[in-house]
Amino acid sequence: MKLRVLGAMLVAASIHLPPASALGEVAEVRRSPVRIVLPTAPGGSVDVLWQSGGAPPGESVASGMRLAAGFRVYVEAAGAASPMVGTYEVLPDRVRFTPRFPLREGTAYAVSFDTDCILAGTGACATATAPDAVFKLEAPRHEAARIAAVEPHSDRLPVNLLRFYVHFTEPMAADYVHKHITLLRADGTTVRSPFLNLARSLWDPEQKRLTVLLDPGRIKRGVGPNVEAGSPLVEGETYTLRVGAGLRDAHGCALARVFEKRFVVTVAVHERIDPFAWSMSPPASGSREPLRVATGLHLDSGRLGQTIRVLTETDERVAGDVALSPDEVGWQFTPAGAWRPGAYRIEIRTEIEDVSGNSVQSALDAPFGRAISLREEELFLPFVVSDK
C-alpha cells in the first residue's frame, strides 16, 4: 500500500507518518488525540483511534449526521465532497468506517477526520477538507505463468493419439484457450481443426492442467469427419504443438512465453490393452525400490493413479505413488515404506487407457466386426517380494 500526506495538512495538523508503507500503517496526528489506521485488504475498514485517556465522541455525535460529515473516506480523484457510502461504528477506543463495497486495488483513496467536529462536538463540520492521508491498495504481484510440461513427454507418438495434457505453473483462465493452441506441420503450415471444439475447456480442479483432445471423429476410421477431413496426424510426419503467449492466467497475466513440443508420428495402436502381456520386475525386500512394470505401450497419465493399486495378500492397500516409467513405455509403483516379504497383487481398473484411448475393456477404434469387450471392472496381477 502506498501512503502519503499532503503539505496542507503538515501546516494545519502536522501529520507524521512512519517511513514504511506497509498495509495497516498508522498515521499519527500531532497535537491531536487521534491516529488513523488504514485498511489491510480490499474488504477492510478505516479506523480512527484516540490516544489513551482521550474522550470518545458523545452519543449525540455518534447518532447524528456529525460523524458522517467529519469522518470521510473517499476516492482521491472524486474529492471529499463525494464520500464513500458505508457504516460507522463507535467503539471504546476508536471510530470505524466500513465501506459498503470493497476497496479496489490500484485506486487511490483519501481519509479526512475533523477532530473538532467529531471529538469536541463543536463548530460546523467542514464540507470539504484536505485529506489527512492518501493510500492505495497495491495489487499483489504474481509470477507469470509458464508451461511446466506437456504430456505425453515422448517425441514419438502414434498416429491415433487422442489427447495432450498441458501443465501450467499457475491457475489459468478457464475459457478461450483453444484459439491459442495450434498444431503445425514440419513446413510451418497449420493443421486445420485438429482439436475437438468443446463449449468448455477441460481443466483439472486447480485449473493448472488442460486436456487438449484431438478430434475423435477424425481419428476413428470410417466415420464422417475422418472420411471428409482425414486424420489430424499422418504417420511418418513431424509436427509441433504450439501453445501461444495469448493464454492468460487466473489473474489476467499473459503466459510468459510460447511453448512448443515437437514430435514424430508413428504407427497407430488399434488393440485394447492386455495387462497379462505386461512384464514385472519385483523389488527387493526391505527396500523402497519401485515395482517396475513394462507395458510395451504408452499409457495415458491422466488417471493412472486412480486405475492402479497394489494390494497385500490380505487385500490391504499398499501406500505409495504410481507414475509412468522414465521411458513412458511402462509404469512404476514406489511404496511409502519398505517392502515386506510376501505375496502381493496389482489391481488394475479396466478403464485404464493408453494415449490412443484404448482401454482394457475395449479398443477405441477396433476394426469393424473384430471389437472385443470385457465386462470385468478390474483385473489382478500377482507378484512376490522375496525375503532373500
- Tens digit of pLDDT for each residue in 240-251? 999 987 888 988
Looking at the DSSP bridge assignments, the partners of residue 106 are none
Examine residue 172 and state whether it is found in any structural domain, yes or no.
yes
25 pLDDT more than 70: no
34-48, 50-64, 208-222, 371-385 — most confident range: 208-222
How far, in Å, are 14, 72, 81, 122, 333 from residue 11 at the CA level?
Answer: 6, 20, 22, 22, 73
Give the CA distances from residue 121 to residues 53, 57, 86, 124, in Å, rounded to whole numbers and listed in that order.
17, 7, 21, 9
- pLDDT, position 186: 96
Judge whether 41 lies within some domain.
yes
pLDDT for 20 equals 30
Query: What CATH number has the domain bearing residue 220?
Result: 2.60.40.1220
- This model's pTM is above 0.75: no
242 within domain boundaries = yes
pLDDT(83) > 80: yes
Rg (CA), the chain: 33
Last residue of a domain, one of 136, 168, 193: 136
Q: Do residue 236 and residue 280 come from a single domain?
A: no
246 with 291, same domain: the answer is: no
Confidence of residue 35 (pLDDT cuts 50, 70, 90): confident
The pLDDT value recorded for residue 128 is: 61
**Does some domain include residue 141?**
no
Q: What is the 3-state secondary structure (H, E, C) of 132-176?
A: CEEEECCCCCCCCCCEEEEECCCCEEECCCCEEEEEECCCECCCC
142 occurs within a structural domain:
no
Decide if pLDDT at 288 tops 50. Answer: yes
Q: Can you read off the three cell numbers belonging to residue 162?
A: 487422442
To the nearest whole number, what is the mean pLDDT of the chain? Answer: 84
Same domain, 114 and 6: yes
Residues 160 and 84 occupy one common structural domain: no
Poorest-pLDDT segment among 15-29, 283-297, 308-322:
15-29
Asked whether the beta carbons of 335 and 288 are under 8 A apart, the reply is: yes
- Of the three residues 136, 163, 187, the one that is the final residue of a domain is 136
Average pLDDT over residues 171-190: 91
Quick one: 220 and 284 in the same domain? Answer: no
> Rounded mean pLDDT of 195-214?
92
* Residue 240, in any domain of the structure: yes
Report yes or no: 201 and 210 within 8 Å, Cβ to Cβ. yes
User: Residue 30's domain is classified under what CATH number?
Assistant: 2.60.40
Looking at the fold, whether 85 and 154 belong to one and the same domain comes out as no
Share of the chain above pLDDT 90, in %: 51
**pLDDT given for residue 27 in this prediction:** 58
Distances (CA, A) of 98 to 22, 77, 273, 353, 376: 20, 20, 62, 55, 62
159 in the same domain as 123: no
**Residues 308 and 214 occupy one common structural domain:** no
Stretch 186-199: mean pLDDT, rounded? 92
Task: Please state the domain count of the chain.
Answer: 3
* Cis peptide upstream of residue 57 (ω within 30 degrees of 0): no
What are the distances in angstroms from CA 34 to CA 57, 81, 124, 161? 12, 22, 19, 70
Q: Of 304 and 14, which is predicted with more confidence?
A: 304
Domain end residue (candidates: 266, 292, 321):
266
Q: For 147-169, how does the pLDDT look when each residue is reduced to its tens digit (9 = 90+)?
A: 999 999 999 999 999 999 999 99
Look at strands 133-136 and 108-113 and give their pairing. antiparallel
Q: Are 304 and 189 within one domain?
A: no
Q: What is the pLDDT of residues 249-264, one digit of tens each?
A: 988 888 878 999 999 9
Residue 13: pLDDT over 90 = no
- Are 110 and 225 members of one domain? no
Q: Tell whether the model's pLDDT for residue 121 goes beyond 90.
A: no
* pLDDT mean over 231-242: 96
> Could you give the 3-state DSSP secondary structure of residue 28?
strand
Q: Is residue 353 part of a domain?
A: yes
CB contact at 8 A, 172 and 210: yes
Kindly report, residue by residue over 333-352, the tens digit of the pLDDT.
Answer: 999 999 999 999 999 999 99
Domain extent for 320: 275-385
Angle 243-249-251 from CA coordinates, rounded to 5°: 160
Q: Is residue 292 part of a domain?
A: yes
- The pLDDT, as a whole number, for residue 367 is 62
- Please compute the mean of the pLDDT values over residues 271-285 and round it to a whole number: 94
Q: Is the same domain home to 231 and 350?
A: no
pLDDT at 14: 29
Quote the pLDDT of residue 40. Answer: 78
CA dist., res. 274 & res. 293, Å (int):
13
**3-class DSSP state of 65:** coil
Residues 352 and 283 in one domain: yes
Please say if the pLDDT value at position 130 is more than 50: yes
